[in-house]
Structures are given as structure tokens and as C-alpha cells.
Structure 1
């Protein structure tokens, strides 16, 4: 079995971060989201990976390399534009050959990995196997409709009136039978080759498509709220270690990671928190569920439930929370200006202004 990992999307929901960074490389607990997916593929015993990339290929290739750091052999497959998930399968046809494959969306996060899913597919050999998860707003996802016996009978992409609350999670397994269906697909109204149309095509041909509702945690890290939630989840399981310097005037509470070269001076850090290599926390408070990237500097400030990307600087601000702060950002206090009121008042108005 091979793996096809899709990392070609533009990440419009994470802008402005993704104007300068690949969305799959935005970190969770100081590790790119894409890396968790590659580790899950390797843990499932898959060695050959086709990595579908787009305009951010150079950045992703610099981060992943040849895949050997993950125990993988990576082949890069260029997608000229984000033309749909099934288009990713189409351009990977030569790489995949006649082997079964797992398709994993590079900005998705699945707790517990995919090993059990791969083992089940290998034993039972359906034409396809999909993961479903209950969501609060199925209009944002591809949605599956099941019959009373739990068999898949229909699929819709981001429907205005969903027939269920079961969304397709970003992991799919296919036999080579999918290639003939994909080759005949027409673009949807969004101008894309939709993977749900390919799955529906397998169903329409009478081929067996298995589905399972996952009980574990899945998240599409497509927006800031989801990124922060996944960051929280990963930090829940960190184990404390201090490889940097923490002075006697500082206090670490709970599970806190301080990486090599990082310093904590006259500060209070309440975990779970990860402080990256070379970062400096000075005269500050860092609260739970915060990831501070490598080379960051936090001085005279408070921050909680946030992700700060490498080399950012936060100085002299009161409190920051629920935030995603990009590479090399500088956050400082606004200059003090006298307060003034600007008014346009009609005749006979009465206005009260506090002093």
C-alpha cells in the first residue's frame, strides 16, 4: 500500500498567515500539522508517499526533504492549481500504479493515527473505505447519508440542507478501482474534481464502500479556532522537561517544556505550555495551552491559549489570548495620544461625556 498526502491547498481560511506560509506547516505544539500526518502514515507501516504540492512546494520540500526523517520515501507531485481532491488522485495515477492507497489531507489531525483503519481495509478489501465524524455544522463539509443498516447511500459536498451530521474526515482508503471513476469525472460547480463524486461513482457501480464513524478526535485545521483547539489537545499530553534556563525568580506550574537555548526570567509559566528553542520569556506571564515558537521574545506581557510562530516579538502589552501570531511579527503598545471626542450634533442636542 502507498499513501497520497495532499498539501497543495492555499489555506484561504487561515489568511493572512498563509499569505507567507504553507497552511500545512503552521505548527501545533511547535510541530507542523503536516508532520503529524506523515508520522501517522509511517506508523501504519506505509513507506511510499506521494506528496501533492502546489505553489508552496519549495517551502514544504525544505521542511519534509526526502522523507527519511519520518521513515518514508517521498515523491513530490506538482498540482498546478487546487483543482479538487480527486484531481490529486488523477495526477498521482502513475505514482500509485495498481496498488491500494490511503489518501490523507495534510491539514487534518486525527488522534490515534490511522493504523487500525489501514488494517481493516487490508483485511476486508472493499473498493473504498471512508471515515465519518459527527460535526455541529455539516454545511462546511462533505456529508454522508447512511441507511438504517448503516450502509452508505449518498454523499453531498457542503450541502445547504445536510441530510445528516456525518462529515467525511480527511482520510480515505481506495483500491485501484477508483482510478477508472476519477478519469471520467467532470468538474463540479466549484470547478473542482470532487472526491465525493468519485466515491459516489464507486457506489453507483455496485462496488462496496465501507464507512466507519470514528469515536476519536478529528479536526480540519482550516481556521484559527480549529488550530487553537488542536494545539490545546496536543498540549494536554506533553511531558515536562526543561533543557533551557529558568532563573530563580521564575515559576513553572504544571506541564511546561523549555527547549534548548530558551530562557525564562522573572516570569510565571502555567502549563501546558511549550517554549521553543532560543525563545526568551522575560517579566511575563504565559498561560495554559500556549505554544511559543523558536526564537520568540515575550517581554513585559501576558499571553494565554495562543500559538506564536518563530521569531515573533511581544513587548509591553497587557494581555493576549486566543491568538495566532505569525513569523517575525512585532507586537508593541500603541503610542499614547490624548483622548478627544469628535462630534457632529444637531440643533438642541444634549450630550453627556464622561471626564
Structure 2
């Protein structure tokens, strides 16, 4: 039984997705599909829906979506269309109608707010857009184009927060730390670290524990963001805001997930997400079937 006190989640979906142009010019990268297995079948699901449902299953019931220009497809997707469900049922497509019914039921039992970020100014600024929504509560924040496959990591963070009542980062070991925000930490339990520092894209690797853009933040993060100066990239980096809180002796923990994790910001990483989600869905043999069919032609 879920007893998490974390009821609020902020989904960050205002990025421009420039590395996926021309697809992402009008279609949000967060709406790219991945596979999900259910009852022996394999279905496609938008990445942002997968992340929303992980948060929902972790106990979140109040959601704030930070979106920008060209993200209307996300709002449309999270607007129940019961007439279409009935259409599917009339035409004998019960499996698909059942999937939508389950999703729409979750949406209708959630409070959802939409906040527009007209100009992307960094992850910290996107988080700051949810300040009024969050109030004085701890909350989840998640990049809606980063997905864990094979484990509900938000659930793990909720359980850890329930025990420790501290802010938390989800981290993952990577081969090239120069591409990510990297934490320095001391392991205090199996795969749980006390965070001592965090650096965005270090030229000289300080560890290989990468920040995966899934957080449990305290309300104090907003004050830290107000004090965060733009980086050399001209963005307000959330890693700098976290470092401000660390310098004030606000303890952060990091949970190292062993699940597969993908940042779907490029076509290469999106292809990896497709392959990994197909593997976890139980439909990985489909890949070989498709290759065989193409070879025969």
C-alpha cells in the first residue's frame, strides 16, 4: 500500500527539442512513443504518459505540466476523449479501449495544471515556473523526455523520502560523465548516497554517477533558483541551485537505480529507448521478425 506524502509532481516539457528537428518543430519530443507490454501484447505509449503513470503509481495526484510553444499535443493527449473510447468498443477494439479507459481514469482522478514557459531558460527556470503550484510542499520534478524502463524509480524515491524526509536525486552510472550533471557522494547504504556536491558537465570527470533529471525537491529550491546566476550557456542550471542548498547544509540523498535509463533528446538515444522498452515489454523478438521480413524483400 502506498503511503507516500509526496502528492505533487512537476513535469518539465518546455524544451525545444532542437536535436530532433524537423520532427520536433511542431510535435513535442515528449510525445515520442516507446513500447509497453500488457497481458502478452505490446503497445505504444508516449514517453510523457509513461512518466506521468510512474508518478501516479507512486502516489502523486496533483500535476503541473511546464510547457511551451508547440506543446498543445500534450494537453490534447491528457484531455479524455470518451467518444473515441466508445468508438473503439463499437468496433471490437476492446484492448485499445481498455488502455485508454485506464489512462483517462487516472487523468480524471488527478488535478492537472498547465503553465507556459514561453522561452526556455534552463531546467531551474522551468522548475521555478511551478512555484505557486507547489507552495510549501516537497514535490517531484521530472524531465518529461527522460525515462526509466524496467523499474518505477519515482516509487523508490517516494519510499526513500517517506523514511528519510530529505530531498533526493535519482542517479545512474554512465560511461562518459562529461555529458551529464555529475554528483559526488558517499555511499551510506546499498545504492543510496549522501550527496556532497554536483557539477554540470564536468570537463574532468569527478565520478560516474549522473543526474537523471528526476528529483524530490524541498520548497527551499525556489529561493535557491532565485539566487542562481546563468551559466556560460546562458541557462539557469538546476545543478547550480542544488549546490546552493548543499552549501547551506540542506542534505540531499541520491538513489542509484539499476533500471535502464534513457534521455531521448537525440534520435540515437530515442532508438535506444525503443529497443530497451521493447526488450522489457517482452516483445523483443519482434525486432528479429521485422529484420527477417526486410531481408526476404
Same-fold call, TM cutoff 0.5: yes
* Structure 1 residue 9 displacement after superposition: 0.6
* Structure 1 residue 95 displacement after superposition: 0.7
CA distance in 2, matches of 1:145, 1:89: 23
* Corresponding position: 1:205 with 2:248: yes
Given the superposition, is the C-alpha separation of residues 20 and 179 from structure 1 closer, same or farther in structure 2, using an over 3 Å criterion? Answer: closer
* Structure 1 residue 68 displacement after superposition: 4.5
Alignment of 1:18-33 (within 5 A): 18-29=24-35, 30-33=44-47
Runs (4+) off by over 4 Å: 66-69, 147-150
Q: Deviations over 1:316-347 (max 9, x none)?
A: xx98xxxxxxxxxxxxxxxxxxxxxxxxxxxx
Which residue of structure 1 aligns with residue 286 of structure 2?
A: 271
* Structure 1 residue 147 displacement after superposition: 4.6
CA distance in 1, matches of 2:220, 2:104: 30
* Aligned with 2:76 (options 59, 62, 65): 62
Which residue of structure 1 aligns with residue 294 of structure 2?
A: 302
Given the superposition, is the C-alpha separation of residues 68 and 99 from structure 1 closer, same or farther in structure 2, using an over 3 Å criterion? Answer: farther
Q: Deviations over 1:167-200 (max 9, x none)?
A: 1012100111212212222211111111111111
* Equivalent pair of 2:64/2:115 in contact (CA under 8 Å): yes
Which residue of structure 2 aligns with residue 249 of structure 1?
A: none
CA distance in 2, matches of 1:147, 1:38: 31
Which residue of structure 2 aligns with residue 49 of structure 1?
A: 63
* Equivalent pair of 1:236/1:272 in contact (CA under 8 Å): no
Larger Rg: 1 or 2?
1
* Structure 1 residue 20 displacement after superposition: 3.0
Aligned residue for 2:281, secondary structure, equals coil
Q: Give TM-score scaled by structure 2 length.
A: 0.78
Aligned residue for 2:172, secondary structure, equals strand
* Aligned with 1:143 (options 165, 176, 182): 182
What residue ranges of structure 2 are gaps of 5+ in the alignment? 1-6, 36-43, 81-102
What residue ranges of structure 1 are gaps of 5+ in the alignment? 240-254, 257-269, 274-284, 289-300, 304-317, 320-355
* Structure 1 residue 135 displacement after superposition: 0.7
* Corresponding position: 1:6 with 2:12: yes
CA distance in 2, matches of 1:231, 1:195: 28
CA distance in 2, matches of 1:109, 1:217: 8
Q: Deviations over 1:261-312 (max 9, x none)?
A: xxxxxxxxx6158xxxxxxxxxxx7238xxxxxxxxxxxx828xxxxxxxxx
* Equivalent pair of 1:142/1:157 in contact (CA under 8 Å): yes
C-alpha root-mean-square deviation of aligned residues, in Å? 2.3
Aligned residue for 1:51, secondary structure, equals strand
CA distance in 1, matches of 2:271, 2:25: 19
Alignment of 1:158-307 (within 5 A): 158-238=201-281, 255=283, 271=286, 286-287=290-291, 302=294
CA distance in 2, matches of 1:219, 1:70: 25
CA distance in 2, matches of 1:109, 1:170: 9
Which residue of structure 2 aligns with residue 106 of structure 1?
A: 144
Structure with the higher helix share, 1 or 2: 2
CA distance in 2, matches of 1:164, 1:12: 29
Q: Deviations over 1:219-278 (max 9, x none)?
A: 111111211121112222436xxxxxxxxxxxxxxx59xxxxxxxxxxxxx6158xxxxx
CA distance in 1, matches of 2:255, 2:277: 24
Q: Give TM-score scaled by structure 1 length.
A: 0.66
* Structure 1 residue 146 displacement after superposition: 2.3
Number of residues of Structure 1 aligned to a counterpart in Structure 2? 253
CA distance in 2, matches of 1:117, 1:148: 16
Aligned residue for 2:214, secondary structure, equals strand
* Equivalent pair of 1:14/1:224 in contact (CA under 8 Å): yes
CA distance in 2, matches of 1:69, 1:24: 21
* Corresponding position: 1:89 with 2:95: no
* Structure 1 residue 148 displacement after superposition: 7.3
* Corresponding position: 1:121 with 2:164: no
Q: Deviations over 1:76-104 (max 9, x none)?
A: 01111111111112111101111110001
